[in-house]
Amino acid sequence: MVKQEDKFKKVISHAKEYGYVFQSSEIYDGLSAVYDYAQNGAELKKNIREYWWKAMVQMNDNIVGIDAAIFMHPTTWKASGHVDAFNDPLIDNKDSKKRYRADVLIEDHVAKIEAKIDKEVAKAAKRFGDSFDKEQFLTTNPRVVGYAEKAAAILKRMGQSLEKEDLADVKALIEELGIVCPVSGSKNWTDVKQFNLMFGTKLGASADTAMELYLRPETAQGIFVNFLNVQKSGRMKIPFGIAQVGKAFRNEIVARQFIFRQREFEQMEMQFFIRPGSQKEWYGKWKENRMKWHLSLGMGEENYRFHDHEKLAHYADAAADIEFKFPFGFKELEGIHSRTDFDLGSHEKFSGKKLQYFDPELNESYVPYVVETSIGLDRMFLAVFSHALQEEELENGTVRTVLRIPAVLAPTKAAVLPLIKRDGLPEIAHEIIDDLKWDFNVSYDEKDAVGRRYRRQDAAGTPFCITVDHQTLEDRTVTIRHRDSMEQQRVAIDAVRNIIAEEVDMKNWLKKLA
Ligand code: ATP
């Protein structure tokens, strides 16, 4: 079995080799936790964005989308609580001089305990074979129950200490668990301190008139401050949602794990405005809807799970993450938060402007409650990409590297390959491309033997290869090869478009959400 770390290294190097993700400013040795999306990465990202946008905005007649500015009036961040509370607890190791997030150190420790549970389950599954009942094993095996209780107790204590801002207890917990610095191996820790994650900047040219600003740490506030503008101009009736995709910036203490935790990233957020009191119902509905969206991509139900928050953010009365099984374990991919009337209520106070909705059915005005869904586009990219990258052993003993990106998201839908570079085959290949390019992103590839070209397209994630050969000259048929099954069909050139459309058309994927 490939070790987790090795798998992750492969993901990173494959992303570079096949033009998906590059380190930012690489010629200057890079900039920490900042990445550039390359020719294929930009397409994949665009397709994920579009799949989300259509599922949210186009498929729901009560959700509209906006595109607010990154700069916002600085009072926004006082009202939202970010100036006072958008902190992470940090701790330094005195020997390695490395800085960590205290909560992440503890969570990593818990993940190790959880890994022990997984190991026990795998061992038992092997021992008991078909008669193995995982649920029963998890609830009755004393060793496993012990691990689970231990993990839960640690998370509970950490949650409570962070909630109370009892940073001394967070440090005590790190010490009691005997957590060592992964670099120096020592337990020589500083105290835990709070660190604000917002990037500050200045607006205006002259020093005395310049205004202190922040780069937005989340896109949500651009939606809240526009709530009434959208509601009025769009004549929206509650319940309704406002969606947005855009950049957000956080000065993360420890940026690692490739594009999982960046300092500049993109969020896809939707704020759903509802009647006060209905938040439980809508929170449940949006948890379900969002999970359905993830599962529609066919990346395996076993790779997702919900994680309910112990520690609630200052604005929330309920919150859960959808976690995905990344190469480094289950981690947050998306958050679903019941934000109450915190944000709108707070903007009312700070701006002195009413942000209320007149509900004609109740004949009264109120500040709406909000349920938010918030997913990182880059994290979704990493989920898709890392899940897609597979190495499979073929019958002839060779290993094939294949990037099984869901066809609807694949950057290039088909590559057209003339078997050889003469006899009029390239001309027909170009004709096919000229015809298909109106509907799909297609590419041309004539270099190397056709088998090598197939492998290259497999590794780049292209779902179809269309090969033009001498028979094409006689009967206008081509071979169409499917990336995942490697099956080949002989079909008329005229049939190619429909075969591709059947698999890549977003409509066919969105239908799974109905
Ligand atoms: P974490 O606990 O991992 O720092 P968070 O709980 O602070 O994440 P939210 O504030 O809920 O994250 O942001 C919503 C989503 O934005 C997250 O689920 C994640 O997908 C994405 N996200 C947050 N921070 C980053 C980052 N530094 N880089 C990339 N994506 C991010």
Query: Which atom of ligand 1 is nearest the CA belonging to 332?
Result: 18
Identify the residue whose tokens are 């209905």.
278
Tell me, what's the pLDDT at 2?
Answer: 58
Q: Three-class SS of residue 505? A: coil
* Sequence-distant (≥ 6) Cβ neighbours of residue 435 within 8 angstroms: 497
Tell me, what's the pLDDT at 458?
Answer: 98
Q: Which of 91-95, 126-130, 355-359, 440-444 has the lowest mean pLDDT?
A: 126-130
Tell me, what's the pLDDT at 345?
Answer: 97
Query: Which atom of ligand 1 is nearest the CA belonging to 261?
Result: 28
Residue 360 CA to ligand 1 center (angstroms) comes to: 37
C-alpha dist (Å) from residue 312 to 51, 156, 325, 337: 30, 12, 23, 9
Tell me, what's the pLDDT at 307?
Answer: 94
Residue 322 CA to ligand 1 center (angstroms) comes to: 11
Q: Is residue 230 pLDDT above 70, yes or no?
A: yes
Using CB atoms within 10 Å of the CB of residue 275, give its burial: 0 to 12 exposed, 13 to 18 middle, 19+ buried: middle
- Residue located nearest, by CA, to atom 16 of ligand 1: 376
Confidence category of residue 254, pLDDT binned at 50, 70, 90: confident
How many whole angstroms separate alpha carbon 86 and alpha carbon 326? 26
The helix-helix angle for 4-17 and 377-388 (nearest 10°) equals 100
Q: Is residue 335 pLDDT above 80, yes or no?
A: yes
- Residue located nearest, by CA, to atom 20 of ligand 1: 376
* DSSP symbols for 188-226: -B---EEEE-PPEEEESSSTTT-EEEEB-S-SHHHHHTT
Element (H, E) at 138: helix 134-140
- Residue located nearest, by CA, to atom 3 of ligand 1: 332
pLDDT 10s digits, 343-361: 999 999 999 999 999 999 9
pLDDT 10s digits, 447-506: 999 999 999 999 999 999 999 999 999 999 999 999 999 999 999 999 999 999 999 999
Query: Which atom of ligand 1 is nearest the CA belonging to 250?
Result: 27
Q: Shortest CA distance to 413 belongs to which of 441, 436, 439?
A: 441
* Total Cβ atoms within 10 A of residue 170: 22
- Residue located nearest, by CA, to atom 4 of ligand 1: 261
Residue 328 CA to ligand 1 center (angstroms) comes to: 16
How many whole angstroms separate alpha carbon 454 and alpha carbon 398? 14
Residues framing ligand 1 (Cβ under 6 A): 218, 250, 252, 261-262, 265, 267, 332-335, 374-376, 378-379
Q: Shortest CA distance to 55 belongs to which of 295, 413, 308, 299?
A: 295
Tokens read off for 98: 């490395």
Q: What's phi and psi for 445, nearest 5 deg?
A: -145, 120
- Residue located nearest, by CA, to atom 31 of ligand 1: 376
pLDDT 10s digits, 152-201: 999 999 989 988 889 999 999 999 999 999 999 999 999 999 999 999 99
Tokens read off for 317: 């009365």
Q: Which of 34, 223, 309, 332 is the pocket-test mutation for ligand 1 (most atoms within 8 Å of CB)? A: 332
- Residue located nearest, by CA, to atom 29 of ligand 1: 261
Q: Which of 215, 265, 330, 372 is the pocket-test mutation for ligand 1 (most atoms within 8 Å of CB)? A: 265
How many whole angstroms separate alpha carbon 348 and alpha carbon 74? 15
Q: Is residue 238 pLDDT above 70, yes or no?
A: yes
- Residue located nearest, by CA, to atom 30 of ligand 1: 376
Residue 47 CA to ligand 1 center (angstroms) comes to: 20
If one compares 11 and 84, the residue with the highest pLDDT of the two is 11
Residue 321 CA to ligand 1 center (angstroms) comes to: 10
Tell me, what's the pLDDT at 256?
Answer: 77
pLDDT 10s digits, 307-330: 998 777 777 889 999 999 999 999
Tokens read off for 328: 């480094």
Tell me, what's the pLDDT at 253?
Answer: 82
How many whole angstroms separate alpha carbon 156 and alpha carbon 172? 14
> CA 70, 72, 76, 81 torsion: positive or negative?
positive
Using CB atoms within 10 Å of the CB of residue 474, give its burial: 0 to 12 exposed, 13 to 18 middle, 19+ buried: exposed
Tell me, what's the pLDDT at 161?
Answer: 93
Apex CA 343: angle with CA 340 and CA 349, to 5°? 120
- To the question of pTM greater than 0.75 for the whole model, the response is yes
Tell me, what's the pLDDT at 314?
Answer: 74
Q: Is residue 1 pLDDT above 60, yes or no?
A: no
Q: Are 272 and 241 in contact (CB under 8 A)?
A: yes
Tokens read off for 195: 């660190």
Output the average pLDDT for the chain.
95
